[in-house]
Amino acid sequence: MIETDLLVVGAGPTGLYAAYYAGFRGLTVTLMDSLPEPGGQVTALYPEKLIFDVAGLPQVKGQDLVDNLVAQAAQSKPDYILGHRAEKLEQRGDRVRVESDQGLEVLAAAVLITAGIGTFSPREVPVGQEYEGRGLRYFVPKLDELSGLDVLIVGGGDSALDWASSLEPLARSVTLIHRRTRFRAHERSVERLLQSRVRLLTPWELHRVFGEGQIDGVEIINNATQERAALEVQAVVAALGFVADLGPMTRWGLEQRARHIVVDSAMRTNLPRVFAAGDIVDYEGKVKLIATGFGEAATAINNAVPIIRPGAKVFPGHSSDVG
């Protein structure tokens, strides 16, 4: 069992900033997330897109923002529990016990839920799942990892087209297949792709993945003609979308409204010692923005501190005074 002052459930931007702020207030902090790396939706869906509404940053790529938040959180020396979904939550006197889907237990003085739109898992490709980690991936947080490779991207949404365009100047070749002739992505993304060197094949889908150890190639099939073709690739990026689900959190006894957790102005939920912030919360006037989530995280942490450390003040003082 891991013991900590604060357990943050969700390692997206809001959760990462909360981890920093917990350390600023002198708390030990642990982050748990079902995804294999921090960053949440930003890393999963738009790591290469520019974000313009983060205070103090005229523009920043999604993954650069996440990297900076991880570096900022590192000052607090957080423990990360990645690839674990928070499954059970129960009160234990002046502690809250959370158990992951893999049986890992965390005992915390308070819990902050920053799970965005819930457990966020990629839709798996119908074939080749055994190559995950050996050439098959669902996320591309670091484009350089695919530099010089022949890459196949499967999908027709914004993430698939964004990754194809971003990888074009780095990869040896980029091929994108989509099982339909029409794309779900924004028209501008489609136009940009058509003007690039990316090889675009529709309506084709993945039929077989092969290779000893690592991926050496794939076989694809045309849905209209049943024609088959082999492609020599060393990397497959499956961008088939993601499934978001509040899952076990719906059974924790939290007050909910329209699949969101209800909180008050201090980010308190109806459960003792349990707070929530970010896209997962709902209150009158709620605006779903990363910028809003940062403020909610700070509010939640500062209001949790007197509960975790009786006698402590809500107001944290100014970080510029700490030095």
- The answer to whether 183 is annotated as binding is no
**46 assigned ligand-binding residue:** yes
Higher pLDDT, 160 or 119: 160
The yes-or-no verdict on residue 236 having pLDDT over 90 is: yes
Q: Is 225 annotated as a binding residue?
A: no
Stronger pLDDT, 202 or 36, i.e. the higher one: 202
In this predicted structure, the answer to whether residue 297 has a pLDDT above a threshold of 90 is: yes
Does pLDDT of 323 surpass 70?
A: no
Mean pLDDT of 267-283: 97
Nearest to 36 by CA among 98, 96, 102, 88: 102
Q: Is the pLDDT of residue 283 over 70?
A: yes
Confidence (pLDDT) at 32: 97
| d(C-alpha 179, C-alpha 101), whole Å | 34
Q: Is 102 annotated as a binding residue?
A: no
Give the confidence band of 189 by pLDDT, cuts at 50, 70, 90.
confident
86 is in an annotated binding site: yes
- pTM for this one? 0.80
Which of the two residues, 48 and 281, has the higher pLDDT score? 281
Residue 278 has pLDDT above 80, yes or no: yes
271 vs 186: which has the higher pLDDT: 271
Residue 33 labeled ligand binder: yes
Q: How confident is the model at residue 262 (pLDDT cuts 50, 70, 90)?
A: very high
pLDDT at 92 over 80: yes
Q: What are the structural domains of the chain? A: 2-121+243-321 (3.50.50.60), 124-240 (3.50.50.60)
Asked if residue 120 has pLDDT above 70, the reply is no
Q: Is 144 annotated as a binding residue?
A: no
**Is position 64 annotated in a ligand binding site?**
no
Task: Please give the pLDDT value at position 113.
Answer: 98
Mean pLDDT of the chain: 93
pLDDT of residue 258: 87
Length of the chain: 323
C-beta of residue 156 within 8 angstroms of C-beta of residue 183: yes
